[in-house]
Structure 1
């Protein structure tokens, strides 16, 4: 989605500023572009639609000053995304326009910059690029849905033009969370991955696109790696670090038909990097988090784990007990009663009593404490 804020960040402007305060101006969605070069004396303002970012010099106001006010009020009434006025004739907004802008939430800007045609061309390119990204997002969503390896290969070719034997994915977010930073980082990452491809003969193609609020980078290789962890794996992490401040998750190198797994791995590694403030995290270095991510993505596993946790939750609610917290702490302590007691600030005998009650609630009375710890570790993995 392109917003008014994205348009304000275009390089075609030397400067652009709000002519009047308007809450939420930068967040308004832009779906098209329009111009008002000549005042439509026939009252044809209905040609302007919601979502359009309208540019005008209001040149006709030099001959008919009253028409500038009429035109701006009409555009605001149409509910356009925003109006940008080059202050050639009009230097200050009439009070009625200021009031209408605030009331309808339609921002009016003054701007200085290149010829209007260049500004409009840049915005149209931005909208076209956004439309292409929307289509790629849709295709990536299809990849993440259940499908066979042939379909995954075909979709990856449509998205990125890759035809190699294997693929590696990077999920990246900028440190600054805004659309302009994401687009700027995309250009840098594209260059960094292109350089990486030049250094490794086995690289077939590199590609970067925006997906939701992150970047997805893809590196396609001509032949499979010799080992479970490719020798290029660590070098890819070092390479992407040169792109500047970012948070990144890097997948394992997998067959192209399993490219959906690469995307999931990269996203899971990114979540770990964000949670641990780790900068760059490789899936191949994850251990427990890898299994947690796998468990979360499996509906049957998630439902089985939720059943056990719900049994304890329901018991706690009915008896004002703390079996759920004890079970989770016991799993985190790998079955050690003393560590569990320390974590809960309880006496070890209190923990032992609760463990006995947990076995009763879960109908595993014959299980040893070690077996119970293993079961609870699975239940609280997600």
Structure 2
């Protein structure tokens, strides 16, 4: 496994799992963000109070069986477990309905959560927690591999190798898509990674990535990519992604593993433009000049110039009270039509002309000033998403 991909899981995360729905927090609320490394059972008789089997980060499930006839052992045992660095403990109310006050005071003082629960079996809890931890690790590993694949300057052979590491079942012909929820949308993937979809000569793999869901729809031959978008939307639905509640960007088809990074990047760009213009879905090939603008936001030198220009315009706005950015945005959206821009912001055309002239002076724009304003406002619109 790649270095640095270890996943951190906090106690509050596993509380959302179904078998833990009946957990009642008794003490130690300050430790709900404790990182747990394992969920394990303490449910055996012991005379020696030897808890050396437990490690830092353990989340312990117990019925206090070892103290069923000796309640005085509970606090001493808990104190020893605290020394071991446990993340938290959940007590099944088999032998004890309440816990000693000293134990709860220790839990609060040490920020180690103590829960009581009644119904779920320990095996159910462990299975759900370990499944969640594994799925989170898989998601983060996939995201790390995608980040590495999308790094600029990667050799084609390295990209192809990254694709195989991501999922060895992927075919070489691909359309990538990236979906993010509209306002109020939600990704409903449950506790596991989305299951790949396989049919004769077609294979779709899904990867939760940043704030959305990436799909790689791949085929054994190029002709099978026909109708890919409809098939991909149906596949998203199988993962709980309702197309009406999401925005989806599609790449152009690619036909070799070493171009998968370009296809993924195109889907990310298309999705960003979807968000910018509030479109339900867009293909990369239909973006026009916006095919190129998202990449500029990843270029440090361009980004520095853009930020400097934005700072000058905002300083002018603060000093004058004039909505310069709104005016220039409307002007760019109207493709340089002063009259249309004026209608968009409910101003006189001469007001727009004067503000554009002032912006040219503020930014020291030369003969291609319109193109520069268009690019600047295009980047501004994309960044707002």
TM-score normalized by structure 2?
Answer: 0.77
How far 1:270 moved relative to its partner?
4.2
Q: Deviation per CA, 1:245-277, whole angstroms, max 9, x where unpaired?
A: 543534323232121223233334444556677
Q: Select which of 66, 72, 75 maps to 1:69.
A: 75
Does the 8 Å contact 1:210/1:216 carry over to 2? yes
Per-residue CA deviation, residues 104-154 of structure 1 (Å, 9 max, x unaligned), is: 332222234565355435534443443343332321221121212211111
Q: Residue 166 of structure 1 aligns with which residue?
A: 173
Q: Please say if residues 18 and 107 of structure 1, whose CA atoms lie closer than 8 Å, have aligned partners that are also in contact.
A: no
Is residue 92 from structure 1 mapped to residue 98 from structure 2 by the alignment?
yes
Aligned CA distance change for structure 1 residues 28 and 268 (closer, same or farther; 3 Å) = farther
Give the 3 Å change call, closer, same or farther, for CA 378–280 of structure 1 in structure 2: closer
Is contact 1:173–1:248 with CA below 8 Å preserved after alignment? yes
Structure ranking higher in helix proportion? 1
Deviates more, 1:252-261 or 1:238-247: 238-247
Distance 1:275 1:241, change over 3 A: farther
Q: Report the Cα distance in structure 1 between the residues aligned to 2:325 and 2:291, rounded to whole angstroms.
A: 24
Query: How far apart in 2 are the matches of 1:354 and 1:121?
Result: 63
Matched positions, count: 364
The range that moved more, 297-306 or 372-381, is 297-306
Give the Cα–Cα distance (whole angstroms) in 2 for the partners of residues 322 and 275 of structure 1. 20
TM-score by length of 1: 0.77
Matching of residues 337-352 of structure 1 within 5 Å: 337-352=338-353
- C-alpha distance in 2, partners of 1:49/1:177? 36
Identify if the C-alpha distance between structure 1 residues 101 and 307 changes in structure 2 by more than 3 Å, giving closer, same or farther.
same
Query: Which residue of structure 2 aligns with residue 254 of structure 1?
Result: 254
Which segment drifts farther, 234-243 or 20-29?
20-29
Deviations 1:6-44 (A, max 9, x none): 433445x38531141654666543222333234665554
Aligned partner (choices 360, 372, 377) of residue 375 of structure 1: 372
Aligned equivalent of 1:207? 205
1:19 and 1:359 map into 2 onto residues whose CA distance is: 61
**Cα displacement (A) at 1:334:** 1.9
8 Å CA contact 2:250, 2:271 repeated in 1? no
Inter-partner Cα distance in structure 1 for 2:34 and 2:286: 41
Cα pair 1:249 1:281 within 8 Å, conserved:
yes
The CA RMSD over aligned residues, in Å, is 3.7
Structure 1 residues 336 and 209: alpha-carbon distance in aligned structure 2, compared to 1, 3 A threshold: closer
Find the residue that maps to 1:208 and give its secondary structure.
strand
State the distance in 2 between where 1:116 and 1:285 align: 54
The alignment partner of 1:183 has SS state of coil
- 2:232 counterpart residue number: 236
Q: Give CA-to-partner distance per residue, 1:316-360, whole Å, 9 cap, x none.
A: 667776655543332233212233334444433333333333333
**Compared CA separation, residues 258 and 97, structure 1 to 2 (3 A):** same
Say which of 51, 59, 82 aligns to 1:53.
59
Any idea what SS the aligned residue of 1:219 has?
Answer: strand
Correspondence 1:325-340 to 2 at 5 A: 325-340=326-341
**Structure 2 unaligned residues grouped into runs of 5+:** 1-7, 380-385
Q: CA deviation at 1:161?
A: 0.6
